[in-house]
Amino acid sequence: MYKEFQRAPVALPGMNYKGHCFAGLVWPVESARTGELYDVTLTEKGWRCNCVGYNRHGKCKHINLVHGRMISDD
């Protein structure tokens, strides 16, 4: 697992990140496959995650999970 973020944040549609009241918060997300915890962080430029997928490819399901919950109307 990566301890440091290496990629630029990912800005997914549906949110205004600049000045967001949750910027800087970290959500622990458990991997469904391994049970390992990853940190998903909201920044003023988008999302970051410390999983291998994010650091290799710039996207991950952990970010999609938290982002989906943030913009959900439920």
pLDDT at 27: 97
Question: What would the pLDDT profile of 24-51 be if each residue is shown by its tens digit?
Answer: 999 999 998 899 999 999 999 999 999 9
- Residues β-bridged to residue 41: 26, 48
Portion of the chain with pLDDT greater than 70, in percent: 91
Q: For the whole model, what pTM was predicted?
A: 0.86
pLDDT tops 80 at residue 18: yes
The three-state secondary structure class of 69 is: helix
- Please name the residues in contact with 7: beta carbons below 8 A apart, sequence gap of 6 or more: 48, 54, 55, 58
pLDDT at 62: 97
